[in-house]
Amino acid sequence: MQISTLVLLLLLISVFAFYTSQNRSISVASKLGGIRSLPSLPSYYGAYSVLLTLIPVSIFLTIWISLDQIVIERLVVDKIPQEFVPSKSSDYDLMINRITSISEGIIYADSVLAWQLDAASLMQKFEAISRWSITVISILMAALCLYLATQKVSVNFNARPVVENVVERILLVSACVAIFTTIGIIFSVLFESIQFFQKVPFFDFVFGLEWSPQTAIREDQVGSSGSFGAVPLFVGTILISLVAMIIAVPIGLMSAIYLSEYASLNVRTIAKPALEILAGIPTVVYGFFAAITVAPVLRDFGESVGLDIASESALAAGAVMGIMIIPFISSIADDVISAVPQSMRDGSLAMGATRSETVKRVVIPAALPGIVGGILLAMSRAIGETMIVVMAAGLAANLTVNPLDAVTTVTVQIVTLLTGDQEFDSAKTLAAFALGLMLFVVTLILNIFALQIVKKYREQYE
């Protein structure tokens, strides 16, 4: 039986469990003079048996599904004659892959060796057994639990506290998923990075000036030893982000000020959502815009005035990234500016200041921490932005601060190193995780810092 059908069947059983227990509790109660004599409402007895039916089975299913491949693999490999089992782990994986493909019918049987065919048919057999046993065991388990749950229904059993307790635990687990995600992220980048730093010293990576991640595939190859100095990537990332901020901060800030301090309600209700459209556009669209429209226009413009602008210049990617960030800055700035108490404005205006003087001397200084926090958040977003730079910035790791040149960024390199087929233990692949670690740490610091500032600021005026 397919897993999805099985899950559906189990859900049906749980629905059945709900109604049988509920009805049972009602019939138990009716002998004693109505449901008032029960310690809990009938639906709680139903919920109790649903939980009792589903929780053990779903734990069992999760464990079985995550382990059965590994167990089957072990069992199959045990039966393969010893001389065919390779010792190198990559060859071993290859063999397992081949056997799996044969058993799934992806590779036709006439082009394989006899022992592989044997192994594949063994694998097929084990998989069939696994599928059967998972179906039978889980249904039996559900039925048993259902029986136990219905037996529990009585006036002496209070279902409500049990149910509420269990549900609260489930809610807690959901809330912890976010924590697990963070731990998962840290583990996934940290472990590979540690492996990377065993091959390439940490300081060579952080302070090295040359980036060319081409490592030799064979050991006797010449010339491509690879160098992993990440400074050009850091500089490129910062350069593009700076261009973006130079465009986004003034436009975002000025439009936020205008919309919250000057604009009439009509203008505001139209212009604000219109600007926010920019925030909803996928980054891949911005990337397209940068690569197909902005970059050629900039290059032609450069040619006409005698400037040499690369077709994958930092300027084009940064400018478009700036457009992307405008609504981000303007919405945060709008929030913090409207949080400034009206009395402060009134005080300033009453002293005879013009409106722009009020904004410049009173509102902005009061809102400054919030604005700075917003700018830092926007900066972190610019640093982590991927698609625009993948499509519009180059791959050449030039160490330059000239925005007219092509530069590459951390995220571009992560994508290029990890898309396509790769060996998992080569320095080239691991380098991507080291870059990921850098990216994660830097954005995390920026975020924590910025969120702290914004939070402090909010508390100030609450």
Partner 1 sequence: MSKDNRALIKQSLKRRNRAERNFQWFGKLGVALGLAAVVLLFVDIISKGSGAFRATYIQLEIEYDPEAIGILNVNDTEEFIFANWQNLAKKSLRDLFPEVAKRGERRKLNNLVSEGTGFDFRDQLTQNPSLWGTKETLWILADDDIDTYYKSWLDDDPFSARLTSEQIKWIDQLHSKGLIALKFNTKFFERGDSREPEQAGIKGALIGSFFTLILTLLMSFPMGVTAAIYLEEFAPKNKWTDLIEVNINNLAAVPSIIFGLLGLAIFINFFGIPRSIPVLGAIVLALMTLPTIIITSRAAIKSVPPSIREAALGVGASKFQTTLHHVLPLSLPGMLTGAIIGMARALGETAPLLMIGMVAFIVDIPGGFTDPATVLPVQIFLWIDSPERAFVEKTSAAIIILLSFLMGMNFVAVYLRKRLERRW
Q: Does 418 bind partner 1 (CB under 8 A)?
A: yes
Q: How far is the CB of 438 from partner 1 (least distance, A)?
A: 11
* Binder of partner 1 out of 182, 224, 269, 460 (CB under 8 A): 182
Identify which of 384, 302, 383, 371 has the alpha carbon closest to the alpha carbon of residue 340: 371
Taking a C-beta distance cutoff of 8 angstroms, is the pair 430, 192 a contact? yes
Taking a C-beta distance cutoff of 8 angstroms, is the pair 433, 425 a contact? no
Q: How far is the CB of 435 from partner 1 (least distance, A)?
A: 9
Q: How far is the CB of 28 from partner 1 (least distance, A)?
A: 22
Exposed e or buried b per residue across 332-371, where buried means at least 16 C-beta atoms within 10 angstroms of its C-beta: bbbbbbeebeeeebeebeeeebeeeebbeebbbebbebbb
Q: Does 332 bind partner 1 (CB under 8 A)?
A: no
Report the alpha-carbon distance of residue 230 to residue 244 in Å, rounded.
21
Secondary structure of residue 227 in the 3-state scheme: strand
* Binder of partner 1 out of 255, 313, 348, 408 (CB under 8 A): 255
Question: Closer to partner 1 at the Cβ: 93 or 308?
Answer: 93
Question: Closer to partner 1 at the Cβ: 9 or 444?
Answer: 444
Residue whose tokens read 């996934």: 188
Question: Closer to partner 1 at the Cβ: 207 or 262?
Answer: 262
Q: How far is the CB of 117 from partner 1 (least distance, A)?
A: 23
Q: Does 390 bind partner 1 (CB under 8 A)?
A: yes
Q: DSSP characters for 303-354? A: HHHT----TTBHHHHHHHHHHHHHHHHHHHHHHHHHHS-HHHHHHHHHTT--
Site track 220-249 with partner 1 (rule: CB under 8 A), x = hit: ------------------------------
Written as six digits, the tokens of 125 are 């057999």
Q: How far is the CB of 450 from partner 1 (least distance, A)?
A: 8
Site track 152-181 with partner 1 (rule: CB under 8 A), x = hit: --------x--xx--xx-xxx-xxxxxx-x
Q: Does 109 bind partner 1 (CB under 8 A)?
A: no
Written as six digits, the tokens of 31 are 């002998």
Q: Does 288 bind partner 1 (CB under 8 A)?
A: yes
Q: Which residues between 356 and 385 bind partner 1 (CB under 8 A)?
A: 356-357, 359-360, 377, 380-381, 383-385
Written as six digits, the tokens of 385 are 């932005």
Q: Which residues between 20 and 59 bind partner 1 (CB under 8 A)?
A: none
Question: Closer to partner 1 at the Cβ: 369 or 373?
Answer: 373
Q: Does 262 bind partner 1 (CB under 8 A)?
A: yes
Residue 313 forms beta bridges with which residues?
406
Q: How many residues of this chain bind partner 1 (CB under 8 A)?
A: 91
Q: Which range, of 29-37, 131-139, 288-296, 342-350, touches partner 1 by CB under 8 A? A: 288-296
Beta-carbon count within 10 A of 178 CB: 9
Written as six digits, the tokens of 416 are 């290029």
**How many CA atoms does the CB half-sphere of 333 hold within 13 Å?**
29
Report the alpha-carbon distance of residue 339 to residue 337 in Å, rounded.
5
At residue 160's C-alpha, the angle toward residues 159 and 165, to 5°, is: 105
* Binder of partner 1 out of 138, 150, 215, 330 (CB under 8 A): 330
* Binder of partner 1 out of 19, 84, 187, 301 (CB under 8 A): 187
Q: Which residues between 64 and 83 bind partner 1 (CB under 8 A)?
A: 66, 69
DSSP E strands, 43-94: none
